[in-house]
Amino acid sequence: MQACTLIARAKINLYLEILGSRPDGYSEVAMVLQSIHLADRVQLKRRHHGIHLRCDHPEVPTDVNNLAYKAAELLQKECHSSAGVEIHIEKHIPVAAGLAGGSANAAAVLVGMNQLWGLGLTVGDLQSLASRLGSDIPFCVQGGTQLATGRGEILEPLADWEGIPLLLAKPRHLGVSTAWAYQAFRSLQEDSTSGSQPYDTVSSLPQVLVAFDRQDPQALANSLRNDLEKPVLATYTLVGELRSALRSAGALGSLMSGSGPTVFGIMPSLEQASQTRDTLRRQFQDVDFWVTQSAPTGILLEPDPQSLSLS
């Protein structure tokens, strides 16, 4: 194989509970992560040597600061290979949005280079390598619906529930630093222990898991949680306004994804999601909206059109 194209799907956090701090500087978390159909396309081509990365989005770095580049470097090192790769990323997932776009691209490079170079690495092997690059990347390798614990790298697949209708909203010119969001959360938690700020310590994770077992959208909507919302909404009021607007417009429930600023709503149907998108676009003219739904996988290898024509 000389080239391949992969679909690299975004994720949302249906649940994000911060359990405490870890000695390695990360936070101990319990998360329910869900792949969605909103996705980038990542094209890979074999080269004799070197890593060359291109992207059609001006804000995405094309050097070692890009997670996809780091993923290619890691595979070269671990497999003791001098072979190279050309990477082209076609962005559809918004940047710095809490949707793991960069992590999905890195996961796609790991999966794709495994195919290109015929490395024979298993999903577990790829996830182990991915954990060295970032907390969301192991999930993105396989995707679907998974319970993530530890710092996000310990994964347990949950029952598939494809096709949950979703409406996403992201302020066009706003990005939120993940590191800042976690630090702001820790500051709020310290205030809560001194009695100046109330903090919710009751877990609703069991309700989320029951909702998935029953595939009950209203039960899922009622048990959504993201501990990073409180500090982000306190600083970026538009994020909270979007969350309220989604609920008022008919979402069963809404939540900020990851460290934000993207907010998603669980909708009764894709038709209503489209209608709500059109309504909210008129109200929030500096916000981008996407109608999408939950997906059963994270990285998908696109069939080779030439191979299809021969079948």
| 49 burial level (CB within 10 Å; 0-12, 13-18, 19+) | exposed
* C-alpha dist (Å) from residue 173 to 24, 167, 288: 32, 19, 10
Ordered DSSP codes for 227-252: TTHHHHHHH-HHHHHHHHHHHHTT-S
| 213 phi and psi angles, rounded to 5 deg | -60, -40
**Residue tagged active-site, from 11, 70, 91, 230:** 11
Pull the structure tokens for residue 39: 């996705």
DSSP 294: B
Which tokens belong to 247?
Answer: 């609920």
Known catalytic residue: 91?
no
Q: Identity (one letter) of the amino acid at 256?
A: M
Instruction: Tell me, yes or no, if 136 is annotated catalytic.
Output: yes
C-alpha dihedral (126, 130, 132, 133), degrees to nearest 10:
150
Q: What share of the chain is helix, strand, coil (3-state, %, to 5)?
A: 35, 30, 35
Distance of CA 123 to the CA centre of its chain: 18
CB–CB of 134/94 below 8 Å? no
Cα–Cα dist 112/300, whole Å: 10
Q: 144 with 163: CB under 8 angstroms? A: no
Which of 40, 70, 136, 227 does the annotation list as catalytic? 136
Q: Which residues are catalytic?
A: 11, 136
